[in-house]
Structure 1
Amino acid sequence: MGMATVMKPPASPLTTAEIAALALSLAHLGSGPQAAAARHGLRHAFEHLQLDDDVTATTLATLTEPLPADIADRARTIASAITSRMVVRLHYRDVSGRITVRDVDPVTCMVHREHWYLVGMCRLRGAIRAFRFDRIIATEPTFVPARPHLAERFLPFQGKRAA
Structure 2
Amino acid sequence: MANVIRHTGSLTTAELAALALSLAHLGAGPQSVTARRGLRHAFEHLDLDDDVIATTLSTLTTPMPPDVARRARAVAGAITTRQVVRIQYLDAGSALSVRDVEPVTCLVHRDYWYLVGWCRLRRGIRAFRFDRIVSVEPTDIPSRPHLPERYLPFQRRKVA
Aligned residues: 159
Deviation string for 1:118-142 (max 9, x for gaps)? 0000001000000000000000011
Corresponding residue number in structure 2 for 1:115: 112
CA contact (8 A) 1:15 1:161 kept: no
Q: Which residue of 1 aligns with 2:53?
A: 56
CA pair 87-46 structure 1, distance change in 2 beyond 3 A: same
- What residue ranges of structure 2 are gaps of 5+ in the alignment? none
Which consecutive segments of 4 or more residues in structure 1 shift more than 6 A?
2-7
Q: Is the 8 A contact 1:119 1:154 kept in 2?
A: yes
Amino-acid identity (%) = 64
Pairing partner for 1:142 from 131, 139, 142: 139
Q: Match for 1:76: what amino acid?
A: R
Matches within 5 A, 1:7-156: 8=7, 10-11=8-9, 13-156=10-153
Pairwise CA RMSD of aligned residues? 2.2
Unpaired segments of 5 or more residues in structure 1? none
TM-score of the two chains, using structure 1 as the length reference: 0.90
Q: CA deviation at 1:159?
A: 2.9
Given the two structures, how large is their TM-score scaled by the length of structure 2? 0.91
1:112-163 Cα offsets, whole Å, 9 max, x none, are 000000000000100000000000000001111101111111112x13169x
